[in-house]
Amino acid sequence: MQNGLTIMIIDDNRTNLSLMDLLVRKIPNCSTLVFDNPREVLDGVNDLKCDIVIVDYQMPEMNGIELIQKLRLVPHFADKPFVMITVDHDSDIKFRALEAGAVEFLHKPLEPVEFRARIRNLARLSEAQRKLSDHAQLLRAEVDNATAELRWREEEIIMRLSRAAGYKDQQTARHTERVARYCGIIARRMGLAEEFCRNLQLAAPMHDIGKVGIRDEVLLKRGPLAETERLHMNDHCAIGAAILAESKCALLRLAAEIAGSHHERWNGTGYPLGLSGESIPLPGRIAAIADVFDALTTERPYKKAWSIGQAFDYLREQAGQQFDPACVSAFLRSRDEVAFVCSALADQDRQAA
């Protein structure tokens, strides 16, 4: 918080300037900035900081009203109180000065007691305004901090939930991380808003969180699933959506949408609802590609890892069938980024499920 007020005085008459300088400096908490030439003020205006401006009316080159008009165009001077000093009592000058933004008038020859009293009053007003604005700034900063803290906690909850889900499911943490990064790549390539892309990437790791509700003998079974087991496995979408749904936290609601729709298929043959085309939420359509691509390009107990080229061929074939063609196209156009994530986040000691 700033201390003390700075009062800028501009008068071409040096005697008057010295007198006003002396009077102002006698007011508690006030210091001065003095100029005998308005041009000098305008030249250095960007570096000048003050709380009140006292301007003489009659000066060479430009009069006080012109100077006020020019200063008010400078953002950090726009709301400063201006005091006009004038020798005459011409009401026309007063009106024009008022219109230009002057809030107070003083007449020459200056009456020291009146001058000090009026400037002191303005100084008190300015100080009160400054305190209010400092307080408002402080409040704004506190709100910003609280919002950031809230967001950070939401992100932490998501990260911890994803970690918890990983213990039950045999997927590696890297699988969920890669799926998240692929989702971000697709969304950004599609030109979606950065906030959406970021949220999608944060929420995507929870797409399979519903697997915590799947019986171990089904979830961990190595061989092919019987029909009833497959149907039970498919429940992970509805379970995941139910775990995450109706949260007040937008990120968790987005995660619920992804969990509930990442196995839907563009042609309507997916599950759990058999939605098709654009009735499948966009985050689910994006996550579907990321999830399948990652399953194809990592080793599973029943298959070797496919190359990126083979997986891209599969996605190309399935565009318009299993997947939203626009999302596939965005993914295929991002080969370098995809390859980078694929190798930078490759599974090390654990096998991807």
**Of 157, 155, 167, which Cα lies nearest the Cα of 199?**
155
The whole-angstrom separation of Cα 57 and Cα 54 is 10
The whole-angstrom separation of Cα 16 and Cα 109 is 9
Output the 3-class SS for 211-241.
Answer: HHHCCHHHHCCCCCCCHHHHHHHHHHHHHHH
Q: What minimum distance in Å lies between the beta carbon of 249 and Fe ion? A: 22
Q: What minimum distance in Å lies between the beta carbon of 159 and Fe ion? A: 16
8 A C-beta contact, residue 159 and residue 342: no
8 A C-beta contact, residue 118 and residue 81: no
Read off the DSSP letter of residue 19. H
Q: What minimum distance in Å lies between the beta carbon of 299 and Fe ion? A: 15
Q: What minimum distance in Å lies between the beta carbon of 322 and Fe ion? A: 14
Tokens encoding 32: 């001065």
Rank residues 102 and 255 by Cβ distance to Fe ion and give the closer one: 255
**Of 302, 320, 299, which Cα lies nearest the Cα of 311?**
299
Q: Rule CB under 5 A: which of 170-209 touch Fe ion? A: 208
Q: What minimum distance in Å lies between the beta carbon of 237 and Fe ion? A: 7
Q: Where are the beta strands (DSSP E) in the chain?
A: 5-10, 30-35, 52-56, 82-86, 102-107
Question: Do the strands 30-35 and 102-107 form a parallel or antiparallel pair, or are they unpaired?
Answer: unpaired
Q: Rule CB under 5 A: which of 65-124 touch Fe ion? A: none
> Which of helix, strand or coil describes residue 192?
coil
Annotated catalytic residue within 80, 131, 168, 211: 211
Rank residues 77 and 182 by Cβ distance to Fe ion and give the closer one: 182
Site string for Fe ion, 204-243 (x = CB under 5 A): ----x-----------------------------------
Q: What minimum distance in Å lies between the beta carbon of 294 and Fe ion? A: 7
Tokens encoding 202: 């944060």
Q: What minimum distance in Å lies between the beta carbon of 240 and Fe ion? A: 8
**Of 191, 176, 158, which Cα lies nearest the Cα of 282?**
191
Q: What angle do CA 133, 134, 137 make, to 5 degrees?
A: 85
Site string for Fe ion, 272-311 (x = CB under 5 A): -------------------x--------------------
In DSSP notation, 239-276 reads: HHHHHHTT-SSHHHHHHHHHHHHTT--TTS--SSS---
Is residue 211 among the annotated active site residues?
yes
Rank residues 188 and 263 by Cβ distance to Fe ion and give the closer one: 263
Catalytically active residues, by annotation? 211
Residues near Fe ion, by CB under 5 A: 208, 291
